[in-house]
A and B are shown apart, each in its own frame.
Chain A
Amino acid sequence: MFSRSATLSVRSIGHHAVDIVWRLGYASRFFALTVASSGPTFRRLRLLIRELYFTGVLSLIIILVSGLFVGMVLGLQGYHTLQTYGSESALGVLVALSLVRELGPVVAALLFASRAGSAMTAEIGLMKATEQLAAMEMMAVDPIARVVAPRFWAGVISMPLLAALFSAMGIFGGYLVGVVLIGVDEGSFWSQMQAAVDFRNDIMNGVIKSFVFGVAVTWISLFEGYDAPPTAEGVSGATTRTVVTSSLAILGLDFLLTSFMFRGL
């Protein structure tokens, strides 16, 4: 009896492992196909611009407002901590570095996954459930080239821009609280920030991070939508998986990238 249940549990672990590997392979193939079918996206810029509007422009409000608040909180918390050591003038550096290196790319990507990623999954999942993708296929139009690729590149292009706006708004929020509200010296706030933030090490690394997150989130969102079972339950499950998997991927990738980028600093 024991040996039978042991065999069964080993078998189910094996099944799960094979499933995961199979899905990873399928997702990689989907990614390769998307990149390979990107020609029409750049030949017909109208398609790309439309998607940039939906994924990028429509995410602006949540990104800008969140950036402002995160920056304001950073300003408050940073001031209280720095004040203990009498180094309030370094508030600008603290706010800017936290945002540009970490919070900007990571929080913007998390917000992007919940706003634009989930929308992409639901849209493509529903297009599949209502046979719109099959109809396209029947009209000799490749859905990967026509539907998936423009959304993919829109996500990849939008993400670094949104992260940059998030950071800029955050710095403004930190300035509002630190300088305008609390009264930290404006000159030292900006000049220390300017002196301490390095273009290549800080800003470029932040941009690289947000680019990687953009690829990961958009890939996960599109794949989940494309692979969703064509039912109401299937689409809702896929949307949830997009947010969960993207968030975990962002945080895991952030650790990996940070450990490569900032180990010598």
Chain B
Amino acid sequence: MPPVAQEPLIEISDVGFAYDRRPILTGINMVIPKGKVVAIMGVSGSGKTTLLRLISGVVKPTRGEVRVGGALVNELTPDSLYRMRRRMGMLFQFGALFTDLSVFDNVAFQMREHTDLSERMIRDLVMMKLHAVGLRGAHNLMPSELSGGMARRVALARAIALDPMLMMYDEPFTGLDPISLGVIGNLIRRLNDALGATSIVVTHDVQEALDIVDYVYYLSDGRMVAHGTPDDMRNSTDPLVRQFVYGEPDGPVPFQYPARDFAQDLKLVH
């Protein structure tokens, strides 16, 4: 499935981003079509999360263009940026639930902030969102009373509160037990299709991601080094992709952090 065949929701052309003159991303080109679930993969520190921050307009690229729904994100005014974000949902790595609000109030947060819906209507909507993630019965709990997997599901219900056109997931599988992992993976796919949304999953959990996504972009050292369908990735002969997909400890990504000669470090040679 070449992703360019469908109408694109996100187009990233020749994007570069540097932090304090340290390049994080270089020459990134990506197209994310409407309605698909796309994974951005790569080892830690490869610039995946920065890419999400560029798409949501939290940071601006140092070069190139980021377009969401045709609008050039790097040139949006703060007001239009906020308008655009109302149509986006983001699931943070550890949920980022508001710890002073109950599960119910967390999910209701955006509805109360951005709409004039009555409390009765909000209650029904919140219950529907919580039901979708299987936690309707937990609406009275506080975030501190939830397990990691439950917190992630509540955060997911909160992220879909206003039926976003684009869902972004930042490392949604990190630190979850196998059951929660399957539940979250399943929800990402199911909610995307039910909402008619488009989803971007930033992750380094290969197997879970390959099972649910339509297309994969693979980042290494701030560059896009490979992309393709999950099957392309599994069958790739690229040593970098193979090392990542099959979790080989050594390969193009070295096990050792660059250091001087080991013998020299142990003072065995002078």
Q: Which residues of A are at the interface with B, using a C-beta cutoff of 8 A?
A: 126-127, 130-132, 134-142, 146
- What are 22 A-B residue pairs whose CB atoms fall within 8 Å in the complex? A130-B94, A130-B96, A132-B97, A132-B98, A134-B92, A135-B90, A135-B92, A135-B98, A136-B98, A137-B85, A138-B58, A138-B88, A139-B85, A139-B110, A140-B83, A140-B114, A141-B109, A141-B110, A141-B113, A141-B114, A142-B82, A146-B113
Check B113–A132 contact: CB distance below 8 A: no
In B54-105, the 8 Å CB interface with A consists of: 56, 58, 82-83, 85-86, 88, 90, 92-94, 96-99
CA distance A213 to B96 in the complex (A): 33
Q: Is the CB of B93 within 8 A of A132?
A: no
**Bound form: Cα–Cα A135–B96 in Å:** 6
**A138 and B114 form a contact (CB under 8 A):** no
Extra pairs beyond A131-B94, A138-B88, A140-B86 (9, CB < 8 Å): A130-B94, A131-B93, A135-B92, A136-B98, A139-B85, A139-B110, A140-B82, A141-B113, A142-B82
Count how many pairs of residues, one from A and one from B, have CB atoms less than 8 Å apart in the complex: 47
Residue of B nearest to A131 (CB): B96
B86 to chain A: which residues have CB within 8 Å? 139-140
* B113 nearest in chain A by CB position: A141
How far, in whole Å, are A140 and B99 apart by their CA atoms in the complex? 19
Min CB–CB distance A133 → chain B (angstroms): 9
List chain B residues, Cβ under 8 A from A126: 99
Give Cα A130–Cα B99 distance, bound, in whole angstroms. 10
Q: Which residue of B lies closest to A123 (CB)?
A: B100
Query: What is the bound-complex CA distance between A265 and B67, given in angstroms?
Result: 67
Whether the Cβ atoms of A137 and B98 lie closer than 8 Å is no
Distance of A3 Cα from B135 Cα, bound (Å) = 68
A103 to B72, CA, bound (A): 58
User: Which residue of chain A is the closest to B92 with respect to CB atoms?
Assistant: A131
A132 touches B96 (CB 8 A): yes
A130 to B93, CA, bound (A): 10
Chain A residues near B85 (CB, 8 Å)?
137-140
B88 to chain A, nearest CB (A): 7
Query: Would you give the shortest CB distance from B24 to chain A, in whole angstroms?
Result: 17
Q: By CB atoms of chain B within 10 A, which of A132, A134, A138 has the most?
A: A138
Complex CA–CA separation, A127 to B92 (angstroms): 13
Verify A138–B90 contact, CB threshold 8 A.
yes
Nearest A residue (CB) for B168: A138
Bound CA–CA A137/B58 (angstroms)? 9
Interfacial chain A residues near B97, Cβ < 8 Å: 132
* B93 contact set on A, CB distance < 8 A: 131
Closest to B109 in A: A139
8 closest A-B pairs by beta carbon, nearest first, are A131-B96, A135-B96, A140-B85, A140-B82, A138-B90, A140-B86, A131-B92, A141-B113
